[in-house]
Structure 1
Amino acid sequence: MKVYLVGGAVRDKLLGRAVTDNDFVVVGSTAEQMIAAGFEQVGADFPVFLHPTSKQEYALARTERKSGQGYKGFIVHASPNITLQEDLLRRDLTINAMAVQVTGLNDATPLSGEVIDPYNGQADLANKQLRHVSAAFSEDPLRVLRVARFYSRFAHLGFNIANETLELMQQIASSGELNQLTQERIWQESSRATLQNSPQLYWQTLHQVKALKSLVPMLDVAWQNVDTKRTISQALLNSAKLQLTMPQRWAVLMSSFQCHDDSNTTHATIHASNQPWLTEIDEVHKLLKVPKAEQKMAKMYAQLAGGLTCVDSLSANQLIDLVQNSGAHKTPMNLEALIQIATVFGVNVNRQKINQAIDSFKAVSIKDIDTSLQGKAIGHALTQARVNKLQGVLAQYA
């Protein structure tokens, strides 16, 4: 039995990056031997085991044979006779197909530190190339998304996708195999990529290789507009630089449906009086089973972006509506999150005016209106009182 540290951990060590996950391959062992050593098998048909104490993953060396459609259409074969080189051959990128032998199942100390690199991963690291290991790459449609995600992760270091790998990605996209991916896996890869240093490159790459047409067709249509693609891409990059949250970044991407390039500003021109794009956003959310936090942020920004882009020209009534609709009177961070999104589009939001609106809203309570009012009249009276309060404040700064 021989045990090897493999994949991303080896890659990241060579890049001088922090290693967060260690994955191991065990050569010359069987499932029975792993279980006897106290390991817990993950799944009935997949030869991956969790270490009894560290809970790190140890996989038996295995090969895969394409047997059907999609990323699940494989027959996995694990055997003590399968070599490390055979196991590494099935991996996606050469930079993920390197290994370092360790002492054993219960000791991850490297034996010598020598990098086992049968497919020239170190050369591709040096040349900053994301290159597929073998033709078997095209058998797994999920790899189109994975390569795009790695690009979004490493592009700031100078990495590019090799031309021949881009060609294979496009072939997979045109084959219809992407339609076999589950909503959960698409979201998993997409959300991870959108949190990287260059999230725009993930979506640009999927659009370039014509994968977006299968994965999120309505977004592909929106990105056919070069100005929209450029505006959203820049905003996504800005959102990464400002370390915005995943819901905020998702709201930026969903702005693809409501914007067009404006010659006077880097932000999109948004027509608040007409919001047909909300239907398209809902379609994307349903298609990908997007989590509620991302859904809420995207829809709220879509509804309120028009006001945020022109705070200085809003009336007192519109400002009070902005506070009400964003919930800023209860949770100020809601509106702050939306302002941060607007910022990545190059909008300079007048925070002083926003704060004056919030203070005016909160300064008025039920005690400040006619106590004889009932039903909807109470709400109307509260709103008017808040508007009057804000108008008085704004008049002082006029």
Structure 2
Amino acid sequence: MKAYVVGGAVRDRLLGLPVNDHDWVVVGSTPEAMLALGYMPVGRDFPVFLHPQTHEEYALARTERKSGRGYHGFQFQAAPEVTLEQDLARRDLTINAIAEDPDSGELIDPHGGRRDIEQRVLRHVSEAFADDPVRLLRLARLAARFTEFSVAPETTALCRRMVEAGEVDALVPERVWQELSRGLMEARPDRMLLVLRECGALARLLPEVDRLWGVPQPEAHHPEIDTGAHLLLVLRMCARLDATLPVRFGCLCHDLGKGTTPAEALPRHIAHETRSVELAQQVCERWRVPVDCRELAELAAREHGNIHRSDSLNATALVRLFDRCDAWRRPDRFAGLLLACECDARGRLGREDEAYPPRPRLWAALQAARAIDTAAVAAAAAEPGQQGPAIGAAIAQARAQALRDRGLAQ
């Protein structure tokens, strides 16, 4: 039995990045031998174990053979005679197919991973890459993480063939969302979209997003003009401002309706907000998006224009805006919405460093309105015998008056 460090830990060390976790591959052992040594089994599809002390993952060296569509369509063989080189040959990218002997420090690199790290290239190990469509998503995510790396042309071509063969259509929602969400949180989430679009996968996974390319917008508001180009800039701003996942997903969905604007109505996009909400809901249903991301996507799609124009809203209209956003009970979510709107406003060519006044102004207005003693207002309104809607109206009036008193609205 011999264990080697493999994958991301070796790759990141060669890149000079911090290494927090180690994955191991074990050659010359069996599940029974691992259990006898105290390792704890965790793998369902193939033998993976946790070390009894470090709790790092140890997987038996294995080979795999395609037996059906999608990432479930595999048959695995894990046996003592499977070699390290055979195990490395089944991995996705050359930079992830390097092993290290922990005793000697020797690197086992049969597929040129060190060369590709030096040349900053993401390249598939073999044609077997096409057997697992999740690898296409992982490639796009790694392009978003390793911003200096390019995708090898032959790898893009292989991904295109995978899309044409329908492999991407066999992906299950949980895996798609797992990779998309991780990619959105990388240093350059826009690169994930570009890689997916280059091979045709974006049109299959997120057609609502793919339709944004080639759609013009008024140049006065959008110097970059193209709606797809705008989305890429918005996602870059999300990363720059260290936005949370719900904010980033909200930004991904905020302008989806512009992809369905009739040609005769371009470059204006009247009522695109309503269409954006409907399309965002479709995306969320398809990929089973978590509730926090879904809610912020719907809010960003519906309200981003109102928030951009909020300096023209009077106090009563601002209170109605807060009502629609449920900002009284969900102030943190409203703060996320404001950040999404700032990313949208600054995600425009040449406007990346401009201030975004609506964000601090609306946050201050919300705090002033929330400071109202609603119980006292309700009690006072109830004395003349008023109920229900009348009490609600009295609270809304008190909140609006607080904004006027503070000079935050007319």
- Do the aligned residues in 2 keep the contact of 1:329 with 1:362 (CA within 8 Å)? no
Q: 1:387 aligns with which of 370, 377, 400?
A: 400
- Do the aligned residues in 1 keep the contact of 2:140 with 2:192 (CA within 8 Å)? yes
1:27 maps onto 2:27 in alignment: yes
Moved more, 348-357 or 248-257: 348-357
Equivalent residue number for residue 168 of structure 1: 158
> Residue 208 of structure 2 aligns to which amino acid in structure 1?
M
Question: In the superposition, relative to structure 1, how do residues 90 and 203 fare at CA in structure 2: closer, same or farther (>3 Å)?
Answer: same
Moved more, 40-49 or 110-119: 40-49
What is the rounded CA distance, in whole Å, between the counterparts of 2:288 and 2:203 in structure 1?
17
Moved more, 208-217 or 190-199: 208-217
Question: In the superposition, relative to structure 1, how do residues 95 and 361 fare at CA in structure 2: closer, same or farther (>3 Å)?
Answer: closer
What is the rounded CA distance, in whole Å, between the counterparts of 2:13 and 2:253 in structure 1?
36
Equivalent residue number for residue 222 of structure 2: none
1:183 maps onto 2:173 in alignment: yes
Question: In the superposition, relative to structure 1, how do residues 49 and 360 fare at CA in structure 2: closer, same or farther (>3 Å)?
Answer: closer
- Do the aligned residues in 2 keep the contact of 1:223 with 1:256 (CA within 8 Å)? no
What is the rounded CA distance, in whole Å, between the counterparts of 1:254 and 1:215 in structure 2?
14
SS at match of 2:41: strand
Equivalent residue number for residue 210 of structure 1: 200
1:220 maps onto 2:210 in alignment: yes
Equivalent residue number for residue 366 of structure 1: 378
Give 1:257 deviation, angstroms. Answer: 1.0
SS at match of 1:75: strand
What is the rounded CA distance, in whole Å, between the counterparts of 2:31 and 2:255 in structure 1?
49
Q: CA RMSD in A?
A: 2.3
Moved more, 119-128 or 320-329: 320-329
The answer for unaligned runs of 5 or more in structure 1 is: 102-109, 261-267
Equivalent residue number for residue 264 of structure 1: none
Question: In the superposition, relative to structure 1, how do residues 120 and 170 fare at CA in structure 2: closer, same or farther (>3 Å)?
Answer: same
Q: Return the TM-score normalized by structure 1.
A: 0.89
- Do the aligned residues in 2 keep the contact of 1:173 with 1:211 (CA within 8 Å)? yes
User: 1:261-272 maps to which residues of 2 (within 5 A)?
Assistant: none
What is the rounded CA distance, in whole Å, between the counterparts of 1:57 and 1:388 in structure 2?
60
Give 1:367 deviation, angstroms. Answer: 4.3
- Do the aligned residues in 2 keep the contact of 1:4 with 1:26 (CA within 8 Å)? yes
Question: In the superposition, relative to structure 1, how do residues 138 and 316 fare at CA in structure 2: closer, same or farther (>3 Å)?
Answer: same
The CA deviation string for residues 121-143 of structure 1, in whole angstroms up to 9 with x for no partner, is 00000000000111111111111
The CA deviation string for residues 80-119 of structure 1, in whole angstroms up to 9 with x for no partner, is 1121111101100000000111xxxxxxxx2121211111
The answer for unaligned runs of 5 or more in structure 2 is: 217-225, 260-266, 347-355
Question: In the superposition, relative to structure 1, how do residues 141 and 331 fare at CA in structure 2: closer, same or farther (>3 Å)?
Answer: closer
- Do the aligned residues in 2 keep the contact of 1:97 with 1:117 (CA within 8 Å)? yes
Moved more, 276-285 or 145-154: 276-285
Q: 2:357 aligns with which of 344, 349, 358?
A: 349
Equivalent residue number for residue 308 of structure 1: 307
SS at match of 2:300: helix
Q: 1:148 aligns with which of 136, 140, 145?
A: 140
User: 1:240-251 maps to which residues of 2 (within 5 A)?
Assistant: 240-251=239-250
- Do the aligned residues in 2 keep the contact of 1:320 with 1:358 (CA within 8 Å)? no
Give 1:14 deviation, angstroms. Answer: 0.7
What is the rounded CA distance, in whole Å, between the counterparts of 2:272 and 2:27 in structure 1?
64
- Do the aligned residues in 2 keep the contact of 1:11 with 1:96 (CA within 8 Å)? yes
Q: 1:377 aligns with which of 382, 390, 395?
A: 390
- Do the aligned residues in 1 keep the contact of 2:258 with 2:272 (CA within 8 Å)? no
- Do the aligned residues in 1 keep the contact of 2:249 with 2:293 (CA within 8 Å)? yes
Work out the number of aligned pairs and report it.
380
What is the rounded CA distance, in whole Å, between the counterparts of 2:238 and 2:145 in structure 1?
14
Equivalent residue number for residue 263 of structure 1: none
Moved more, 13-22 or 283-292: 13-22
- Do the aligned residues in 2 keep the contact of 1:311 with 1:349 (CA within 8 Å)? no
User: 1:295-334 maps to which residues of 2 (within 5 A)?
Assistant: 295-334=294-333
- Do the aligned residues in 2 keep the contact of 1:272 with 1:307 (CA within 8 Å)? no
Give 1:4 deviation, angstroms. Answer: 0.5
Equivalent residue number for residue 235 of structure 2: 236
The CA deviation string for residues 300-331 of structure 1, in whole angstroms up to 9 with x for no partner, is 22222122101211122211112223333344
> Residue 152 of structure 2 aligns to which amino acid in structure 1?
A
The CA deviation string for residues 50-89 of structure 1, in whole angstroms up to 9 with x for no partner, is 2122221111111111111111111111121121111101
- Aligned-pair identity in percent equals 39
Question: In the superposition, relative to structure 1, how do residues 214 and 356 fare at CA in structure 2: closer, same or farther (>3 Å)?
Answer: closer
Q: Return the TM-score normalized by structure 2.
A: 0.86
What is the rounded CA distance, in whole Å, between the counterparts of 2:72 and 2:123 in structure 1?
22
Equivalent residue number for residue 91 of structure 1: 91
Question: In the superposition, relative to structure 1, how do residues 48 and 314 fare at CA in structure 2: closer, same or farther (>3 Å)?
Answer: same
Moved more, 54-63 or 345-354: 345-354
What is the rounded CA distance, in whole Å, between the counterparts of 2:245 and 2:59 in structure 1?
32
> Residue 181 of structure 2 aligns to which amino acid in structure 1?
S
The CA deviation string for residues 249-290 of structure 1, in whole angstroms up to 9 with x for no partner, is 000001131458xxxxxxx98867961221111111110000
Moved more, 356-365 or 375-384: 356-365
